[in-house]
Amino acid sequence: MAKKLDDGVISINADISDAMAVFNGLDVNRKAIQKKLLSSVGTGGRQAIRRNYRSVLKKRSGTLYKSIRSYVKSNGSAVVFTNSADSGKNTGKGGKAGRYGFMLASGYDVEAKDKLLTFQINGKWFRMHHVHVDAKDFTEAPIERYVDSLDCKNRLETALQKQVDYWDKKLGGKA
């Protein structure tokens, strides 16, 4: 159900065909309804990632926490989750900002441009030519668990009921 795309982006296709069957035969904007239902799934998935990431990473990172985003594809087919926190500094080749949310999820190697990398961990200074950071997947597993959970089904049911109530009121009791 969850599919990993490039650049640390994860896409999920939630099965909402049963929920959309309620609107068969009505003159409603089915694409907008589908997007709203998927958006509610995306909000819950983003919350699941945020709850889980501290246990995986063992440390708080405000920028990384805030960078976790979800959006619905323009055609309304899937929810996409990203974790592309930018460092705000020009790093790497080409002067592009370092996307450490993606790099942390997929693992990476850092090589010194000139002589040595110098950094401090727990008050102790280190100087190295090369550093390898292991991959820590803090996005895909929580999304997989969330999509299969009762919380996701309840959230989807609540969003569906809101849409039914809205269109029932707008169409004058035909929904």
In a domain, 71, yes or no: yes
Structure-token pair, residue 120: 């401090």
- Does the pLDDT value for residue 18 go beyond 70? yes
pLDDT higher at 99 or 125: 125
Per the structure, the count of domains in the chain is 1
Tell me the pLDDT tens digit for each residue of 154-169: 998 898 899 888 888 8
What mean pLDDT is predicted for residues 18-41? 83
pLDDT of res. 15? 67
In a domain, 126, yes or no: no
pTM beyond 0.85: the answer is: no
pLDDT of res. 98? 46
Give percent above pLDDT 90 in the chain.
7
In a domain, 50, yes or no: yes
Give strand pairing partners of 71: 80
Domain encompassing residue 19: 2-106+137-171
Closest C-alpha among 45, 43, 41 to residue 14: 41
**Cβ–Cβ under 8 Å, residues 140 and 4:** yes
pLDDT higher at 35 or 175: 35
> CA-to-CA distance for 172 and 67, rounded, in angstroms?
42
In a domain, 163, yes or no: yes
In a domain, 91, yes or no: yes
pLDDT of res. 126? 92
In a domain, 122, yes or no: no
Structure-token pair, residue 90: 């020009």
> CA-to-CA distance for 124 and 106, rounded, in angstroms?
27
> CA-to-CA distance for 137 and 40, rounded, in angstroms?
23
What mean pLDDT is predicted for residues 149-156? 89
Tell me the pLDDT tens digit for each residue of 55-80: 777 766 677 777 778 888 888 777 88
Whole-number mean pLDDT of the chain?
Answer: 77
> CA-to-CA distance for 157 and 163, rounded, in angstroms?
10
- Does the pLDDT value for residue 29 go beyond 50? yes
In a domain, 130, yes or no: no
In a domain, 127, yes or no: no
- Does the pLDDT value for residue 90 go beyond 70? no
pLDDT of res. 4? 54
Structure-token pair, residue 58: 């063992």
